A and B are shown apart, each in its own frame.
Chain A
Amino acid sequence: MNYFQSLMEQNKKLFIPFITAGDPDAEATIALALSLQNAGASAIELGIPYSDPLADGPVIQRASGRALKQGMNIVKAMELVPKMRENGVEIPVILFTYYNPVLQLGEENFFALMRENNVDGLLIPDLPFEENQRIRTRCKAENLYFISMVAPTSSSRLKKIAEASEGFLYCVSSLGVTGERKEFDQNVFNFIKEVKAVSPIPVAVGFGISSGEQARKMNEAGDGVVVGSSIIRQVEELHDQLISKADRDEALQKIEAFARSFVQTV
C-alpha cells in the first residue's frame, strides 16, 4: 500500500501544499516546509522555478521569478530536500518541475540527483501520458511516485492515465492554469466522481482551491486537495518578514495557521 493510501486508511484527507523552491529564499523554503508539516500537510510539492511556466497563473509565475532572481535552479532545489530532513521534515517531498530543466540535466543525472537527495516523487505538468512513459517506468523501478494529472478534458484518456499513476492522482479541478478561484463549476463534483471511479489510488484535486471551505467541498467528492497559489500569495505578502531572521517565525506561524484550515479528517 502506498503512503497516500495509508493516510486514507487512517481517515485522513490529503492536504498537499505547494511551495516554490527559493521563494523568497532557500532558508525560508526549508522553514516553510516544516511549518506546513506542522500544520498537517500530507506531503510537500516543491516547485522548481522556471522561466516559462506554461501551466501556471500569475501568482506562481511571480514566485518563479523571485526564486530565479535568488539564483535558484533545479539542482539547488533538490539539495534543499536533505536540509528539510535535517530540519525535521518527514513527509514525502514531491518535485514539481517543467520538463525542460529535466531534459537539460539529462535523465541519468536527474535520477541520480533524485536518489542522492532522497526526493520521493515527481510531477511534470507538461509531460503528458504519450510523452512520459520512459520516465514513468523509471520512477516505478526506483520506487519514486510519478504523479499523473487528469483534466476535465481528459475524457477518453482518463482511464489509461489513472491506471498509470503512482502515489495519488492529481485531478485538475477546471480548465485553466493554477490560481485562486472564487467559484467552481458544479460539474467539478461529477468529474471528481468520474475520476474516483477509475482511479486505483487516492485522488487529490488541485488548481484554484484557496480556502478551507472550498477544500471541504472538494474533499466530499475526492480524497484531498493540492493548494498552491493561495499559499504562495501568503508567502508573497509576508516576503519581507520571511527573509528577515528576526521576523521569520511570526510569518511562518501565520502561514501555518492558514495551512491548517485545509487539513481535514473524515
Chain B
Amino acid sequence: MYPDIKGRYGDFGGKFVPETLMEPLEELENAYRDAAADPAFGEEYVRLLKEYSGRPTALTFAENLTKSIGGASIYLKREDLNHTGAHKINNAIGQALLAKRMGKNQLIAETGAGQHGVAAATVAAKFGMKCKVFMGAEDVERQQLNVFRMELLGAEVVPVHSGSKTLKDATNEAIRYWVQHCEDHFYMIGSVVGPHPYPMIVRDFQKVIGEESKKQFAERTGGLPDKVIACVGGGSNAIGMFHPFLNDEVELIGVEAAGKGIDTPLHAATITKGTNGVIHGSLTYLIQDEFGQIIEPYSISAGLDYPGVGPEHAHLADTGRVQYISATDQEALDALHRTAKEEGLLAAIESAHALAKAFIIAETMSPEQSILVCLSGRGDKDVHTLMKALKGEVDQDELLSISNGAK
C-alpha cells in the first residue's frame, strides 16, 4: 500500500524540503501514526464529523438530470452539505485533532478560493486555537467574502504579495513561515499535496467520502456505481472519493480544469499537460517551463488553479488506474447552470467540472448503469464570479496578466 517508507507513490511524492523541516515532518508522521492506531482518536474524529460537520452527507439521486440526459443514473455525493460548505472540513477537523494531540495550538494554513482557509479558521475557533491563513493578494481581492468569513471566525488573513500573488505563492509563504515557527506551530495543508506525510494524512481524513458513498450506494442499489467522477485541483476530494474504490471494478475518472482550453496557456490541467517536477516539497506532475520555472495556471475556479497535483494522483494516472480528463470554464459553467435549474443545486465551480464530464459520459451509458459524482462543495462562494461570467464580464485584462505571468 502506498505511500512507501520514503513517502513515495511510485515515482512521486517524497520530501523535497529545506533541512529545517525534515525533523518536524518526521515528528508529524510519528504523531499521525500513533493517533491513527489509537481508537480514541478515531472515535473523536468520527464524533466531530457527525455532531459538528453533519456527516454522513446525503447521497442524492439526480432524477431530473438522469431523465433529461437519458443515459446512466446519476448520483451525487453531497459534500456541499458539510459545515462550511465543502469537503475541506473533513481534513481540517482531522488535522486540528492531530495538532491538539501534538500540543500545538497555533495553526498555519494556506488558501486559494478560501474554502480551506474557512475550514481551518472554523476548527481553530472550535478548538480554541490561533490561526494564521496565508492567501495570495490577488485571491484576497477576488474572494473578499471568504476573507471576511475567516476574520469573523477570528483568524488572521495574511495577504501574500510575492510571485503571482495566488495559491502557489500563498503556499510558499505558509511553508516559509512554518520553517521559522516549526517548533510550536502546526501547518495544516488543505489538499493531498506537499511533502510526505501530508498527502497521506489528508487522503486518510478524506477517505470518509468514498467509504460513506460506497455504503450508501450499496444500501440504495445493492451494488457499486459503474463510474465515479470527481474534480481534481490538488485532488483531495477526488482521492477521498476514489481511494475506497481502488480495488473494486469501478471506473474512476478525475476531471481537471482546462480553463480556456488545454491548447492555450490558460489552463490548470496538470496531469494532462504537466511534466515531472517538484512543487511544495513533493515530486509530481507540474506545469512548468523547460528550465523548471513553475508556470501559474489558470482556471475560472480559484480552487482548481494549482500548478501541481497530489502525488498519489500522479501515480494513479501513471498506472492507468484512474483516468484524468479535463473540462473547460465554459463546460463547467454550463453544467453548473443545468444542475441549478434541473436539480435545484448550486454546485461550486470546482465540482461543476466533474458534473460537466459526468453528463457527457452518462449519455453514452445505458439506463441500467450508474455514475457517481462528488459534489465537493456548494457554489455560494462563486456567485460573484458567476455574475461576472453571466454578464460576459470575465476580465480580459486579468486573463492577459495571468497569461503574461506564465513566464
Binding site for B on A (CB under 8 A): 50-55, 57-58, 61, 65, 68, 73-75, 98-105, 125-131, 149-157, 161, 172, 175-177
**Other-chain residue from A51, A52, A74, A155 in contact with B23 (beta carbon distance below 8 A):** A155
Q: Mark out the residues of chain B between 144 and 181 whose CB falls within 8 Å of any chain A CB in the assembled complex.
A: 162-163, 168-169, 172, 175-176, 179-181
Contacts of B179 in A (CB 8 A): 55, 175-177
Known: A52-B163, A73-B291. A175 touches B279 (CB 8 A): no
Known: A52-B279, A154-B22. A68 touches B294 (CB 8 A): no
For the complex formed, measure the closest distance between the CB of A224 and the CB atoms of chain B, giving whole angstroms.
19
* In the assembled complex, B399 has its CB within 8 A of some CB on chain A: no
Contact A153–B182 (Cβ < 8 Å): yes
For the complex formed, measure the closest distance between the CB of B248 and the CB atoms of chain A, giving whole angstroms.
34
Known: A52-B168, A57-B176, A125-B18. A130 touches B291 (CB 8 A): no
Contacts of B183 in A (CB 8 A): 153, 175
Q: A68-B293, A73-B293, A128-B17 are in contact. List 19 more A-B contacts (CB 8 A).
A: A50-B292, A52-B168, A52-B172, A55-B18, A55-B179, A68-B407, A99-B16, A100-B277, A101-B291, A103-B292, A125-B19, A129-B19, A151-B20, A152-B20, A153-B24, A157-B23, A172-B18, A177-B179, A177-B180
Smallest Cβ-Cβ distance to A176: which chain B residue? B180
- A/B pair count, beta carbons within 8 Å: 129
CA distance A99 to B277 in the complex (A): 9
Contacts of B22 in A (CB 8 A): 128-130, 151, 153-154, 157
Select the residue from A57, A125, A151 with max chain B CB neighbours within 10 A.
A151
CA distance A255 to B286 in the complex (A): 38
Contact B176–A130 (Cβ < 8 Å): no
For the complex formed, measure the closest distance between the CB of A47 and the CB atoms of chain B, giving whole angstroms.
14
Contacts of A153 in B (CB 8 A): 19-24, 182-183
Binding site for A on B (CB under 8 A): 6, 14-24, 162-163, 168-169, 172, 175-176, 179-183, 275-281, 283, 286, 288, 290-294, 407
For the complex formed, measure the closest distance between the CB of A51 and the CB atoms of chain B, giving whole angstroms.
4
Contacts of B168 in A (CB 8 A): 52
Q: Is the interface of B mostly helix, strand, loop or mixed?
A: mixed
Contacts of A58 in B (CB 8 A): 162
Contacts of A52 in B (CB 8 A): 163, 168-169, 172, 279, 294
CA distance A131 to B181 in the complex (A): 24
Smallest Cβ-Cβ distance to A151: which chain B residue? B20
Q: Would you give 24 A-B contacts (Cβ < 8 Å), ordered by A?
A: A50-B293, A52-B169, A53-B172, A55-B176, A65-B163, A98-B278, A99-B16, A101-B292, A103-B276, A103-B292, A104-B292, A105-B291, A126-B17, A128-B17, A128-B19, A130-B14, A131-B14, A149-B18, A154-B19, A157-B22, A175-B20, A175-B179, A175-B182, A177-B179
CA distance A31 to B168 in the complex (A): 34
For the complex formed, measure the closest distance between the CB of B276 and the CB atoms of chain A, giving whole angstroms.
7
For the complex formed, measure the closest distance between the CB of B10 and the CB atoms of chain A, giving whole angstroms.
15
**Other-chain residue from B19, B24, B162, B277 in contact with A103 (beta carbon distance below 8 A):** B277
Smallest Cβ-Cβ distance to B307: which chain A residue? A52
For the complex formed, measure the closest distance between the CB of A219 and the CB atoms of chain B, giving whole angstroms.
22
Contacts of A105 in B (CB 8 A): 291-292
**Other-chain residue from B175, B277, B286 in contact with A54 (beta carbon distance below 8 A):** B175
Known: A103-B276, A130-B15. A175 touches B181 (CB 8 A): yes
For the complex formed, measure the closest distance between the CB of B253 and the CB atoms of chain A, giving whole angstroms.
29
Smallest Cβ-Cβ distance to B22: which chain A residue? A128
Contact B17–A54 (Cβ < 8 Å): yes
Contacts of A131 in B (CB 8 A): 6, 14-16
Select the residue from B163, B278, B292 with max chain A CB neighbours within 10 A.
B292
**Other-chain residue from B16, B163, B288, B407 in contact with A126 (beta carbon distance below 8 A):** B16
Contacts of A129 in B (CB 8 A): 19, 22
